[in-house]
Amino acid sequence: MTTAWTIDGVRTALTEKKISARELATEFYKRIEARNPELNAFLALSPERARKQADRIDALIAAGKPLPAMAGVPIAVKDVISTRGIVTTCGSRILKNYVPPYDATAIERLDAAGAIILGKTNCDEFAMGSSNENSAYGPVKNPASTDRVPGGSSGGSAAAVAAGLAVAALGTDTGGSIRQPGSFCGVPAVMGSYGRVSRYGLIAFASSLDRIGPFATNVKDVAAVLGVIAGRDPHDATSTTAAVPDYQKEITKPVKGLRLGVPKEYFGEGMDPAVRQKIEAGLEIYRKLGCELVDIRMPHTDYAIATYYIIATAEASSNLARYDGVRFGLRVDSDSLLAMYRKTRGAGFGDEVKRRIVLGTYVLSAGYYDAYYLKGQKVRALIAKDFRDAYEKVDAIVTPTSPVPAFRIGERSQDPLQMYLADIYTVTGSLAGVPGISVPCGKVCGKLPVGLQIFGAPFAEARMLQLAYAFEQAGGASV
C-alpha cells in the first residue's frame, strides 16, 4: 500500500479498483491511531461520517458514474472550522464540548466534491499563536523532529499532512497561521486573497484578516483543494464575486520572463544564516527558469508586527466577547451574573487568549482608540500600498516564509515578543489582503524544513501557484 497518497493517486486507485474508498479511509484511521499519540495532531475523529462518504463514493464507482473532484480523498480540518456533528473546540476549554449544528461553506464544498473528512486537528487556542503550544489540549509535535514545534496556529493540519495522516488538510491564516506551519513542516501551504474563500462557519479570531486555505504534499493538490473551496458565497458578504480559474490547468504554464520582486526588508537582522542560504539558492532556481529577479523596496515592513498586533487583538477582543457562559460553551456558575462571566472566562480561556483580549480592549478604549487602533489602520493602508506599488513593477514577490526553522518546544513560550517575531515575514501579506503560498525550499541541520514564500497580486492565485509549481518541479524542495 502506498505511503504517499496524492489526489490523483487516490482517483486512479479508486477507478482502477485497487482499493475502495472505505478501505482507504480505514487505512488512514490506522495511521492516525499509530502516530497521533506521539504527534497530538488530531483532537477529534469522525469515522462514522467518513464511512458514509466513503460508501457514497464506492456506490458511484460500482454504478460506473463520474466521480467528483475530491472523490475519496481523506482530509483533515483545523478545529476552528465548523463541522456538523463533530466536536469543534478551537483548541480551547471554553468550547470543550461544542458541536456545531452546521458545516462551514468550505466543508460543504469539500463534502459535495466527495472528500472524506477524517476529523479535527489541534491548533493554538482560537488560532492565536505561532507554535501550536497554546492549545488547551497540549502542543503538536513536528513530524520532522518531534522536539520541535510544527508552527502555528494550524500546526495540527500541517503535521497531519507531513506525517501522511491525511492527503490534504484545511487550516486558517490570520497572520501566517497556514504558511508558517507549512514552512516548519515542509509542505505546500496556501492562503488565498482575502475574500477568495468564504469565512462562513469559521469561528472568528480577527474578521478582517482570517482566511481558510489548504495544505497538501504537492502544489498541484493545494491548487485542486483551493479550486473546490474558493468562490462567492451568499453567506459571506466579504467573499468575492471574481471567477475561480482552473488552477490545476494554470499552474503548468511556463514562468520564463516573469518578474519577481525581492524586497531587501525581508532579508535583515534576525534571519538565520542557514535559512538565508536556502532562500538564496531558491532564488537562483528562478533565475535558471528564466525569471527576472528585481530588487524592490517595501518601506513599511518594519511596522507590520506592531500594526498586526493592534488590529488583530482589537478584533479578537470584540469577537471573543460572545463567550460568556450564557449561550454556549463552558459555564462556571456563580452567585451573580458578573461573577459568572468572570469565572467562566477565567477558567475557559488560556493565557495567550487573555493577553490578546486585554491588549485589544485597551487599544479600543476611549482614551487610546485614536492613538492605537486608528493609527494601526492607517499604517495597514501604507503596507497595502507597498504591495500595490510593487505589483506595478513585478508579477509576484518572493521572500522567506520564516526567518528561522522550527524552534524547540518551550524555547519561546515565555517570551511573547520572540514568538510574535516568528510571523515577521507573513503578517504583511495578511494586512494587505494578498494571497501567499509557502513551498518547501530545502532543509537545514539535515532535517528542519525551510519555506520559500510567494506573494501574488490580489486574486492572482493562479500566477502564484504557477510559480510555486515551477519551483517544485525544478527541485526546489531539495536545494
Catalytic residue among 46, 78, 82, 120: 78
Q: Which residue has the cell 488560556?
A: 350
* Cα of 178 vs its chain's centroid, Å: 2
The SS3 of residue 442 is: strand
Strands 42-45 and 116-121: antiparallel
Locate all alpha helices (DSSP H) within 16-91, ordered by sequence. 21-39, 47-62
Q: CA torsion sign, 442 to 30 to 147 to 189?
A: positive
Helix and strand counts by DSSP (H, E) for the chain = 16, 11
Is position 131 annotated as part of the catalytic site?
no
Q: Which of 177, 198, 239, 430 is catalytic?
A: 177
Which entry of 82, 130, 153, 183 is annotated as an active-site residue? 153
Residue 394 in grid coordinates? 513585478
Verify whether residue 153 is a known catalytic residue.
yes
The C-alpha cell at 332 is 462556571
* Number of Cα atoms under 13 Å in the Cβ half of residue 191: 36
> Which among 296, 288, 329 is positioned nearest to 96, based on CA atoms?
329
Grid coordinates given for 26: 480505514
∠ CA(337), CA(338), CA(341), 5° rounding?
90
Cα 150 to Cα 132: distance, rounded to the nearest angstrom: 7
Give the DSSP H/E element, type plus range, for residue 15: helix 7-15
The three three-digit cell numbers of residue 420, written as one number: 510574535
Q: Is 177 a catalytic residue?
A: yes
User: HSE (CB half, 13 Å, CA atoms) of 246?
Assistant: 5
> What string of DSSP letters covers 201-212?
TBPPS-TTT-EE
Annotated catalytic residues are: 78, 153, 177
